[in-house]
Amino acid sequence: MIETLAVVGATGAVGRIILQLLAEREFPAKNIRLLASARSAGRTIDVGGRAVTVEEMTPEAFTGVTVAIGSTPDEVALEFVPWAVAKGAIVVDESAAYRMDPSVPLVIPEVNADAIRDHKGIIASPNCSTTQMVMALKPLHDAARVRRVVVSTYQAVSGAGLSATGELRGGMQGLLTNEAEPRAIFPHPIAGNLIPQIGSLRDGGSTSEEMKMVYETRKILGDPTIGLCVTCVRVPVFNGHSESILVETEKKLTAHEARELLAAAPGVVVQDDLSASVYPTPRLASGRDEVFVGRIREDQSSPNGISLWCVSDNLRKGAATNAVQIAEVLAR
């Protein structure tokens, strides 16, 4: 049981889902406090039938907090996390600010929950696209050691925030009625389009989102030798990220073996019957906490290759659910 749990960024898109999950999962906390920016302070939010008033996030606001879950931009996390740790709280941080800090464990509870023990006050939750991919890679890595991954992501606009969802909705209407399409979030119109850029340019021509997947995957699986080639694409889907993944392993796995390994993995659901058009789609995965895998087949161009299709709700398992699961481990 946790004495006091604080949710930082409680009024944001992911923060709202965190509050929903705390009620759904009957999170073991005696007290729940909600922290946000000054403009949100004073609002009252229902948390599992309890009316909780949002407080302004200040250093003193973390006094008495046992665990804090933070869902904020990187620059906000860099500000508040030291405040919370200084007050004795353990922070589960969803931003990218501390993920690659060697002193901070980067955790997916179904994959490397043991790493939580090594925390020094901060535990990082991975990027949404990394989380679902590593959930699918973990059982294959344990059985046959993953050597190389080629992945293309099809990422929903919800990953860019509430305004991005509105931009897609308005863009779809404009596209259909031949009217002006709103564009404030994305560099190109998103409705009826694909944008092969998520994040900023990095050395070598990759984007920051692509390099997150490279570095975070290696850290979580504890293997810096895994080769990854990543292409991240924003697609006109409201919610739910999809990924086409080619996995090359040291030891050969048949499609049947890979399917059985994935079906037995915690948090993974296999939906794989192409003859009956059974495979994961983002609409079916939206609102769910599992990672869904299908189209599992041996790659005909690689002797030790397995191809698969992976889908997950990026706001839930990719963000809110993973953070709440980490906090549940701390509570236990």
Q: Which residues of the chain have pLDDT under 70?
A: none
Question: For the whole model, what pTM was predicted?
Answer: 0.95
Report the 10 Å Cβ neighbour count for 260. 16
Tell me 190's DSSP state: -
Give the dihedral sign, CA 245/251/253/258.
Answer: negative
Active site residue 232: no
Any idea which residue has 């003193």 for tokens? 60
Q: Where in the chain is the domain with CATH 3.40.50.720?
A: 2-126+319-331
Please give the pLDDT value at position 278: 98
Report the distance separating Cα 104 and Cα 97, nearest Å: 10
Report the distance separating Cα 199 and Cα 189, nearest Å: 16
In contact, 106 and 115? CB cutoff 8 Å: yes
Q: Where in the chain is the domain with CATH 3.30.360.10?
A: 130-314
CA 225-228-232 angle, to 5 degrees, is: 155
**HSE-up of residue 66 (Cα within 13 Å, Cβ side):** 14
SS3 (DSSP) at 165: helix
Please give the pLDDT value at position 40: 87
CATH superfamily of 130-314: Dihydrodipicolinate Reductase; domain 2 (3.30.360.10)
Residues 6+ apart with CB under 8 A from 1: 28, 29, 30, 331
pLDDT in tens, 266-282: 999 999 999 999 999 99
Please give the pLDDT value at position 256: 98
List beta partners, residue 231: 152
Structural tokens at position 59: 């250093």
Please give the pLDDT value at position 114: 96
Report the distance separating Cα 171 and Cα 186, nearest Å: 11
Amino acid at 6: A
Residue 297: its H or E element: strand 291-298
Please give the pLDDT value at position 13: 85
**Catalytic pick among 119, 141, 232, 241:** 241
Length of the chain, please? Answer: 332
Indicate the CATH number for domain 2-126+319-331: 3.40.50.720
Please give the pLDDT value at position 257: 98
Report the distance separating Cα 6 and Cα 92, nearest Å: 10
Structural tokens at position 207: 């984007």
Phi, psi angles (nearest 5°) of residue 217? -60, -45
Active site residue 241: yes
**Catalytic pick among 119, 128, 141, 232:** 128
Report the distance separating Cα 255 and Cα 298, nearest Å: 5
Report the distance separating Cα 183 and Cα 312, nearest Å: 26
Tell me how far the alpha carbon of residue 261 is from its chain's centroid. Answer: 22
